[in-house]
Amino acid sequence: MNLRRILLLLLFVSTFTISCKESNQHQKKNTDTLKEAETKKKKQEAVIEKEEPSITKESKNSKYVCFTNDNNKSKRIWVEFAANGKASHVKYEGQNEAISLQYVKEESTEGGAHPTIKNYYQEIYKGEVNGEYILTHSGVWDYVTYIRGKDGKEFNYTIDHNSNPYGKKPCF
């Protein structure tokens, strides 16, 4: 009977020891995975901070899309898209300089005939965030919503299909 108790005790201790060892290995693996994810996120954030858009005259890899204001068709803007597909600048007709855009995030919604993709950008004017642009794409339609920073007023624009959308030159 003593031998049976000793064997059961040894079996219990060895099972417990193996179980703890496996648990520690699993915990170490999860910790390593978490550290890798944090490092990757920090690298991505550093890249975003370094990606300060440069204002160039009609970059050969850029595409331009012209938009008209929904409430006043005589007000137009163009948006410059870099080779990576992200918007880099916006220019209002009548202004001398384009305004830099800084990418923030993308949201996608399934449903309908085409998915709806929204890209969010901060307007950077004289080194400060001045407002927010939301560029929406669904099928052949593109929209811009500008939210002015100082008062939150919204301005809505729709793609002008007659102005060579996604052309190599701006529409004005």
Shared-domain flag, residues 151 and 91: yes
Band the pLDDT of 21: cuts 50, 70, 90: low
Structure tokens at 43: 């690298």
Ramachandran angles phi, psi of 3, nearest 5°: -65, -40
Question: How many domains is the chain built from?
Answer: 2
The yes-or-no verdict on residue 14 having pLDDT over 90 is: no
Q: What is the 3-state secondary structure (H, E, C) of 64-103?
A: EEEEEECCCCCCEEEEEECCCCCEEEEEECCCCCCEEEEE
Shared-domain flag, residues 19 and 85: no
Shared-domain flag, residues 26 and 3: yes
pLDDT in tens, 72-112: 999 999 999 999 999 999 999 999 999 999 999 999 999 88
The yes-or-no verdict on residue 50 having pLDDT over 70 is: no
Instruction: Using the Cα atoms of residue 56, residue 57, residue 59 and residue 65 in order, give the sign of their dihedral.
Output: positive
Question: Using CA atoms, how far apart are residues 149 and 132, in angstroms rounded to an integer?
Answer: 7
Q: Residue 105 is part of a domain; what is its CATH number?
A: 2.40.160
pLDDT of residue 9: 72
